Every structure is written in structure tokens, then in C-alpha cells.
Amino acid sequence: MWRYYALLAILCLVVLTLMGRAVHLHIFEQSFLSHQGDVRSIRLERLDAHRGTISDRYGEPLAISAAVETIYANPTQVKLGDEEYAQLAAALGVNKRWLKRRLESNRDKQFVYLKRKAAPHEAQQALQLGFSGIYSRREYKRFYPAGEVASHIVGFSNIDEKGQEGIELAYDEWLTGREGKHRVLKNRAGQVIKDLGVVELAQSGNDISLSIDMRLQYLAYRELKAAVDIHRARAGSVVVLDIETGEVLAMVNQPSYNPNNRSNLNVSHLRNRAITDLFEPGSTMKLVTLASALESEKYALNSSVETSPGFLRLGGRSIRDHRDYGRLSLLEVIAKSSNVGTSKLALDLGPEALWDSFYALGLGQGTGIGFPGENIGQLPNPFNMQPVELAAMSYGYGLSTTALQLAQAYMVLGNGGLKPSLSLIKKESKEPVERVLPESVSNELLKAMRATVEKGGTGTRAQVPLYSVGGKTGTVHTVGRDGYNAEEYKALFAGVAPINDPKIATVVVIDAPAGAEYYGGEVAAPIFSRVVDGAMRILSVEPDKFSQLMHVNKVESSLAGGRG
């Protein structure tokens, strides 16, 4: 009998001990146990922040972030048969064999991506299958509405929203948002069963408004692409600058690429050739030589230079014109693009004076535009320059520049000698402007530019209906591994419009046209004409060829009367 009572006493003691422990835990250690439970079931998860929007000067979106879903798995929790693998693969739009291999080869891991940046409906289809260990979370994917038209400026970001090219790379830190955090309650399977609220709000990246006017960008891209195709050229660039502010209104290149689909991307197409590719600017530099001559006050536009017999011998080399032009005024030297006349000016001015003029216009130095991969070009050393090198420099050989630098130089020539800083970002206010050339010299240069496109000049095909324009043609041999390519050229045209009150500076570069035409006046000048014609209308610039305008109005009136 005593054994019964002993056993009963032991059982009562055990029960009392357990009850005492339960009371102790419930009263004295409740907060500790609650915390330990939360640690095992409550998690902090990140809230992705989308990148800032990139837009043109009028708010047209060029790069936006769209909400998408990333589907991932915990392989230790996934238990699927062949039929279930097939269902999941179909929902994700992936290969069944790849999916099975990916999950089974990572059985010892608790996280593996199945599909990054998927459309929300794909994630919904996958999750609705109800398979354990399959999850999704919100992310953002970059989309570029303008596609290849603005790709060389905007660039692109990678799958992790990090800038890789263009503005996306140059302003990556500014565009990148800051992740937030939210607290969630998960079950033993790792599934979220309750969102407990936001701990830290995600902060979106900062927006950027570019200086680009997409109306001009589309126009320039269309004309350049058509010309490169027609002339079977290797590449080409067009740059349009606002003369007063220095803002880049358009910058296009061929070949281009689609940033929304880079699966078959040719890496060479990534280059923003207008900023990275160097070339000898050829006869477009004759206006800079003229500027140096006029600034020296030793010459005026009506000063004359003897170019007979049509060639000049220097250091065992011959500098030639297309023919013997005889005695030419400086205005005619530019209009007829005389190498001999320009060389004689340079030889009289000396290397230092000429170098100073080139450098003052931004050649041989960075533009300060802040774009990745920009080339600064090269100017020859003025203190170690032979006469033949000085002569070559005067008509654009022996130095290198980019299309953007060339556009900057012509912007200054057409802006009364003022040199605003270049910018791909929209300027919200006026800033101090440096004067690098007397206004009187700039006005004389505009006359020389006009003469180039008028009858007798080399750039007549650059003329624009209803608007007076001016500029300079250029044709240079391309440079290969073994020196100049005798049968391959670059066709150039640089100019401003309208010539009486310049608003824009435009440069056209066509690399290696393969057709019968290859001169700058034949290939590049017509592109300049079409781009400027459209730009003047888009920018609502009043026509200044009033006689032509009156003729058009008369024709329209007569046609209207005929209908009556």
C-alpha cells in the first residue's frame, strides 16, 4: 500500500513542478520567450526602391522603372515530381530540364533564383500552383520608351539596376534609390502569413531632366539612319547644340542598339561615337584659321591671298587645291575651301597664334560634359612644329577631335565669340559665359559661313528653304592601321542656323560612305539641310528668307483660288 502512496506523491510532485515552471515562465520570463518566438518567426525583409526617371527637357520619359516580380525557391523545401516540374516550367516559361537541374543541383541551399524580373502574371501563375518552397518578391525593371533613338545618351542599367552605360552610368549614384524594410511573420515553411508593417520606407532615386529635345532627336536619328543606309556608310553622327545655352538638343549615332533587348548586342554599337570617336576635322577647321587671322588684325575678309599655281611645296610635300584659283579674298578662300590660301595664312600667323585659337574654341581638351568615355582629342605641340605641319593643321590635318568638340567650336563661332558650358542636363538658370573671340570677328565668320553655302561655294546642298544658313564642308581620309586609307573618307559638315541670328549649331559626320559620292558637300551637307529645316520649324524660328516665303504664299493663294 505504501508503494501506491509513494508513486502518487511522486506524480503530484512532478505535476506541481511542471505547474510551477509554467507559472514561472508565464509570469517572469514571458517577454524573453515572446522575443525568442518572434526571432524565429518574424523577419525583416527589404523593400526595393526604384531608380529615378530620366526624361527629356519637356518631361518625355526616356528611362522608367516598372514593377515586376522575381521568382525564387528554397530547394530544401521543394518536392516535385516530373508532372509538377512540367507545370512549374510552363508557368515560368522556362525549360523543364533546366528547371529540374537548377533545383536539384542546389539541394543544400536555401535560396536560388528561378526567374528574375518576370511579368507579374507569370509570378501569379507560378504561385497559384501551390508548390512548397516557391516564392516571389517585388523588384523593378528598367524600360526605355525611346529605344535605340536615345540609347547612346541614356545608356542602360543591368539586372540589378546598376548603371552600365551613358547617363545611367554617369549619374548612377543620383538615380539609385535607398532600400526600405518591412517586418513580416512567416510560418515554419518560410511563407509570409502576415505583413506586420513598414519599418523603414524605401526612397526612390532622384529624377534627371536631360537637355535633349526628343522631337529633334527623332528627326536627327531618322535623317542620319536614312543617309547611312543610302550611302552604305560604316557609321555616322549628328550633334545639335543650343548656341545660347550650350545645351545638347540632339545627339545621335549609327549604328545604334535597342536597350530593351540586348540579347544579340554587338558591343561596338554601344559607343556614343559623337563623344568617343576621334577624327581629323579637315576643312571645317579653315574657319578657325580665318578666326585667328581676323583676330590678329593683320587681315580682313577682303584681304587677298595668292594661291597660284594651285599648289604649295613645303618640306618636300605638296599642298594642293582642286584647281588654280589665282588670287582670292579671304572670303573666297573659305567659300572655295582653298588649302593653299589657308596654309599661307597659317604660315604668316605662326604656330602659337594658331594653336591658341584652336584651343580657345575647346579643341584638344575635355568639354566638361561629364559623359563616360569622352575623348579629348589632340592638338600638335606648337613649340615643335614644322612648316608643313602648321600648314596641315590650318586645314584640319594633324589634329583630332570629336563631333561634339567640333559642334562646340561652331557654337562659339556663331554665338558672337561667347562659349557657354556644354551640358546634357537641362539648365534651369543662366550661368556666366566666357568670351573667347571678339564679337566683330564672329560676325565676319558668319559671312564666310554664308558664302560657303551660296553659289560658288562647296556647301550649296546645305541650303535650307526659307532659312539662311552657313557652315563649312570637310572631306578627310580615314586613318587605318598603316596610315591614311587612300580610298576611304569621312564626309563632314558643320554649321549654324539661321545665319542672321544663330539658334543652333549642327555637325554631321559620315564615316566611310561607299557610294559614288563621298565629299562633305555631297554627303553630309544634305543631311545638315534636312535636320536644320525640321529643327527650325520644331523650334518655331521665324523664316528669314522673306522673298521665298512670299513666293510660297502666292503659290498657295493661287492654288486656293483655283479651287473656287
Three-state secondary-structure class, residue 17:
helix
CA–CA distance, 443 with 159 (Å, rounded to integer):
52
Q: Among this protein's residues, is 283 annotated catalytic?
A: yes
Burial class (CB in 10 A: 0-12, 13-18, 19+), 147: middle
For strand 54-55 and strand 208-209, is the pairing parallel, antiparallel, or unpaired? Answer: parallel
Residue 255 preceded by cis peptide, ω within 30: yes
The Cα–Cα gap between 64 and 120 comes to: 17
**Residue with C-alpha cell 590635318?**
397
**Catalytic choice (151, 211, 237, 283):** 283
Cβ atoms of 413 and 287 closer than 8 Å: yes
Q: Which amino acid is at 250?
A: A
Which distant-in-sequence residues (6+ apart) come within 8 Å of 529 by Cβ? 461, 462, 463, 464, 469
Q: Is the distance from CB of 380 to CB of 399 less than 8 angstroms? A: yes
Question: What H or E segment, with its residue span, contains residue 341?
Answer: helix 339-349
Handedness of CA 31, 36, 38, 43 (dihedral sign): positive
DSSP codes of every residue in 274-315: HHH--B--GGGGHHHHHHHHHHTTS--TT-EEE-TTSEEEET
Residue 155 · residue 212 · CB < 8 Å: no
Q: Give first-to-last CA distance, the chain, whole Å.
A: 132
Q: How far is CA 6 from the centre of its chain?
A: 91
Q: What residues act catalytically?
A: 283
